[in-house]
Amino acid sequence: MSYDLIVIGAGPGGYVAAIRAAQLGGKVAIVEKDAPGGTCLNRGCIPTKALTASCDVLRKIKDGKRFGINVENYSVDFEKIMAHKERTVKQLVKGIEFLFKKNKIDVYKGMARIIDPNTVQVSGEEGTQKISGKNLIIATGSIPQTFPNMNYDGERIITSEEILNLKEVPESLLVVGGGVIGCEFASIFTELGSKVTVVDIMPRLIPNEDKEISAELERQFKRARIKVQTGVKIETIERTDDGIVAKLENGTVIEAQMALLSLGRLPYTEGLGLDELGVTLNRGAVVVNEYLETNIPNIYAVGDVTGKVMLAHVASAQGIRAVENIFKEKKPMNYDVIPSCIFTHPEIGTVGLTEAKAKEKGLNPKIGKFFFKANGKALTINEPNGFVKIVADENDIIVGAQIIGPHASDLIHELALAVQNKLTVSAITLTIHAHPTLAETVLEAVEDIYRKAVHK
């Protein structure tokens, strides 16, 4: 079979690219060795959010008396929590499969190997076949990173993939890595009853975020009785008869039932034949230019496999950009404004420049800040912790924002729109925000730039 486009990998970069290509009139094939949706849907974003949702319900039950709701004899049924996760994943997988059929996309189940710039060999249960395409998009994603001294075994010393298939909640959990993935799982398993310790070699949790955001998250973690040790290296992790033991370079020894390795992710290109083909790689990542082209003109790459910004929504945006570069006018991919969300408790949402990054760029930033504890809606739902922080430049243009607090992952998008469109402070302050809403914290944080926040 011959196609206008063959997409290798059906994750958030690949399946979105395939659908957009079909919408533009292309004859499209997609190759996937597992279920569509990739890591995000099957082993990442969606499963963890399903667990987070169960934790949110549990938290409200525990807090019921404050709301006049007396709940007695409640229990955590981890098997049913995991069943909720599986139902959610299966429903979304079926949704993608429906979209493939609706858009007349041919799906090939199996491992892909690129034979030449226009030929892909697919090896699956039904044997091996070759398909040809005018253009190819590599969207094979990434895998969890491990290190030899951590002695990963997939049973006691595990990654984010195995932890989503546990049969029971561990009594104690060592989380190695205080980045996004580690902090999210720390929140989840603390709520479910595990005694959690987070260890990171970096000086603070989520070190790429604003320092005030990191400090507030650590404060909330300690309130939740999560032990945090930053600025210290783990020398070894060993499996024992009933758990694991970790030795830190400062002499501390940590024992736990399990260890979760949250050490970042590596681009996945196994079996694609990229070396033989001559595709340029950099530390395992497929090198692409601003148009998402590899060094071979008709072969593109999107998503985690490029090693650029490992976020599902960036992969989708890259997928659309690559397809439109193939079928329409060629334009560069823009990474300037990318909202980022961390689903800890409390949630975190960020976009654009932090105060520190703005200063590094030579700006003289103006800062506004407003706390959720002064917001009516936040108090009614008993979520008073956290704040909204706004960064504007000398011309009052909003260049960044950071939120930690209830529904931060939703609230950040008003500010992403502001940063993307270079809106000024007055564009927000002149927009009436409904009352009582959490979004009023955004308005008051912007007003605080000129110390005009009414409730501060």
- In order of their start, the domains of the chain are 2-144+266-327 (3.50.50.60), 147-262 (3.50.50.60), 339-449 (3.30.390.30)
pLDDT tens digit string along 42-81? 999 999 999 999 999 999 999 999 999 999 899 999 999 9
Q: Tell me, what's the pLDDT at 267?
A: 98
For 9-42, give the DSSP string.
--STTHHHHHHHHHHTT--EEEEESS-TTHHHHH
What does the alpha-carbon distance between residue 162 and residue 154 come to, in Å, rounded to a whole number? Answer: 6
In the block, which residue shows the tokens 């082209």? 293
Whether residue 178 is annotated as binding a ligand: the answer is yes
pLDDT top residue among 13 and 125: 13
Is the pLDDT score of 1 beyond 90? no
DSSP state of 6: E
Neighbour-count burial of 223, counting CB atoms closer than 10 A to its CB (0-12 exposed, 13-18 middle, 19+ buried)? exposed
Whether residue 246 is annotated as binding a ligand: the answer is no
Q: Tell me, what's the pLDDT at 180?
A: 97
DSSP state of 433: P
pLDDT tens digit string along 186-205? 999 999 999 999 999 999 99
Span 102-123, average pLDDT: 98
pTM score, whole prediction: 0.96
pLDDT tens digit string along 234-250? 999 999 999 999 999 99
Whether residue 284 is annotated as binding a ligand: the answer is no
Whether residue 177 is annotated as binding a ligand: the answer is yes
pLDDT tens digit string along 262-311? 999 999 999 999 999 999 999 999 999 999 999 999 999 999 999 999 99
pLDDT tens digit string along 214-225? 999 999 999 999
Exposure string of 65-94, with b = 16+ CB inside 10 Å and e = fewer, is eeeeeeeeeeeeebeebbebbeebbeebbe
Element spanning 122, H or E: strand 119-124
In the block, which residue shows the tokens 């033989």? 276
Element spanning 127, H or E: strand 127-138
DSSP state of 367: E
Residues annotated as catalytic (active site), given as ranges = 435
CA angle at 23 for the pair 97 and 21, rounded to the nearest 5°: 80
pLDDT tens digit string along 144-188? 999 999 999 999 999 999 999 999 999 999 999 999 999 999 999
Whether residue 77 is annotated as binding a ligand: the answer is no
Is the pLDDT score of 125 beyond 90? no
Residue 395's pLDDT band, with cuts at 50, 70 and 90, is: very high
Rounded to 5 degrees, what are φ and ψ at 51? -65, -40
227-230, strands of its sheet edge to edge: 157-158, 258-261, 172-176, 195-200, 227-230
